[in-house]
């Protein structure tokens, strides 16, 4: 065989090998890849880790700890509610499934634990609120029901358990915040009423119990985050004020208690996530700072303490949900 002919054949063989190797992983949009079978895999982005599996998220996430596991919820296609569960014991996710029944969700979900059950709430058609209840012992969902009364909800709900009751909050059509209270003893709802004062809410609310009070938050004008506080012993609201500093919020806030402090989060400009922290002993806010990593969050955040870590979740590219572990030094001032 002529040497030139042999070299040509070797060159062609090398080209074929390189082409086949390049098709094993084909780049796709927004930081994901697809293998030879077309299965999409989300990539880690600067400290943000994708929750495994196709979330098909159409909303910001919600998260709660129940039965020793971390439960994650999102609104899916067709008004469904989808869920995934993480165990710190096995360090594994259960995989995404759909909560049974016709949720008819038109908002992000919210979840809490009350009366031994995990309870999920969503806004549905005509400004109503619907909820479903999961029991760990039976492993079954109760089915979707409607919160009684005229909620007039113009946002996703927020929930908190305080003073032995489950309290639900929504933004009304005029930027006010409306609330109803459920008491397990008697199985009765209080009916809807308006939180006092001028909330000026431009987003869904967020709620948490801290220092013996119920703290309520909402995004206000010019990207500010506004707050009011309810004290059970006096049965009074403190009045609406702005959380200090430049929040730059473009989403509803998220709030949780972890490590003795109240942690507040919101999506900022360019999909960044911003945070500030309130300490009861000093009665001071830490100041707003940016959570590291340029994921480009497509939703507001959700936050929860689990397994000793403060965990932050957002919807990212490709309708996936991403997680970030927030450490004491993980925020950037600005």
Phi, psi of 318 (to 5 degrees): 60, 30
* Closest residue by Cα to residue 297 from 269, 276, 328, 327: 269
d(CA 195, CA 172): 10
Query: For 42-83, what is each residue's pLDDT tens digit?
Result: 666 778 999 999 999 999 999 999 999 999 999 999 999 999
Count of the separate structural domains present in the chain: 2
Q: Determine the distance from the C-alpha atom of residue 266 to the mean position of all C-alpha atoms in its chain, rounded to a whole number.
A: 10
Same-domain pairing of 139 and 13: no
SS3 call for 22:
helix
DSSP-assigned letter for residue 243: P
Residue 144 is predicted with a pLDDT of 98
* Closest residue by Cα to residue 88 from 307, 284, 310: 307
Residue 295 is predicted with a pLDDT of 87
Same-domain pairing of 140 and 258: yes
Same-domain pairing of 179 and 246: yes
Q: Is 212 exposed, middle or buried (0-12, 13-18, 19+ CB in 10 A)?
A: exposed
What Rg, from alpha-carbon coordinates, does the chain have?
A: 23
Residue 13 is predicted with a pLDDT of 39
Residue 328 is predicted with a pLDDT of 56
Same-domain pairing of 29 and 98: no
d(CA 214, CA 181): 13
Same-domain pairing of 123 and 210: yes
Same-domain pairing of 133 and 212: yes
Strand-pair category, 309-315 with 302-306 = antiparallel
Same-domain pairing of 66 and 77: yes
Same-domain pairing of 209 and 120: yes
Q: Give 171's contacts (C-beta < 8 A, 6+ positions apart).
A: 153, 154, 155, 177, 178, 199, 201, 203, 204, 205, 218
What is the torsion angle, in degrees rounded to the nearest 10, for the CA atoms of residue 201, residue 177, residue 217 and residue 283? 120
Q: Which residues of the chain have pLDDT under 50?
A: 1-41, 329-334
Residue 110 is predicted with a pLDDT of 98
Same-domain pairing of 37 and 90: no
The DSSP annotation for 184-240 comes to TTTTEE---EE-SS-----S--EEEEETTEEEEEEE-GGG-EEEEEEETTTTEE---
Q: What is the CATH number of the domain that holds 320?
A: 2.120.10.80
Same-domain pairing of 181 and 213: yes
Same-domain pairing of 142 and 113: yes
Residue 50 is predicted with a pLDDT of 97
Same-domain pairing of 157 and 72: yes
State which residues form the domain around 21: 1-43
- In contact, 179 and 163? CB cutoff 8 Å: no
d(CA 111, CA 67): 14
Q: Considering the entire predicted model, what is its pTM?
A: 0.87
């Amino acid at each position: 065989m002529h040497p030139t002919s042999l070299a040509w054949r070797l060159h062609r063989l090398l080209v074929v090998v390189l082409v086949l190797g390049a098709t094993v992983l084909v780049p796709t949009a927004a930081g994901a890849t697809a293998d030879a079978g077309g299965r999409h895999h989300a990539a880690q982005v600067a400290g943000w880790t994708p929750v495994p599996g196709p979330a098909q998220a159409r909303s910001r996430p919600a998260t709660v700890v129940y039965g020793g596991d971390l439960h994650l919820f999102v609104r899916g296609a067709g008004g469904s509610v989808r869920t995934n569960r993480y165990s710190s014991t096995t360090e594994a996710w259960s995989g995404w499934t759909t909560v049974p029944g016709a949720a008819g969700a038109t908002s992000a979900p919210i979840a809490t634990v009350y009366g031994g059950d995990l309870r999920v709430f969503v806004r549905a058609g005509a400004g109503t609120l619907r909820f479903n209840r999961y029991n760990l012992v039976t492993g079954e969902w109760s089915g979707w029901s409607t919160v009684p009364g005229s909620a007039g909800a113009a946002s996703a709900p927020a929930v908190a358990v305080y003073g032995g009751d489950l309290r639900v909050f929504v933004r009304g059509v005029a930027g006010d915040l409306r609330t109803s209270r459920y008491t397990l003893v008697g199985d009765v709802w209080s009916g809807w009423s308006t939180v006092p004062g001028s909330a000026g809410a431009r987003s869904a609310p967020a709620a948490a119990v801290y220092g013996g009070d119920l703290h309520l938050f909402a995004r206000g004008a010019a990207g500010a985050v506004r707050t009011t506080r309810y004290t059970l012993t006096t049965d009074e609201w403190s009045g609406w004020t702005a959380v200090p500093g430049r929040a730059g919020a473009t989403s509803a806030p998220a709030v949780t208690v972890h490590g003795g402090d109240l942690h507040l989060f919101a999506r900022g400009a360019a999909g960044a996530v911003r945070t500030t922290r309130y300490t009861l002993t000093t009665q001071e806010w830490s100041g707003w700072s940016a959570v590291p990593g340029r994921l480009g969050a497509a939703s507001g955040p959700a936050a929860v303490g689990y397994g000793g870590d403060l965990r932050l979740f957002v919807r990212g590219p490709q309708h996936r949900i991403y997680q970030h572990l927030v450490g004491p030094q993980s925020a950037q001032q600005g």
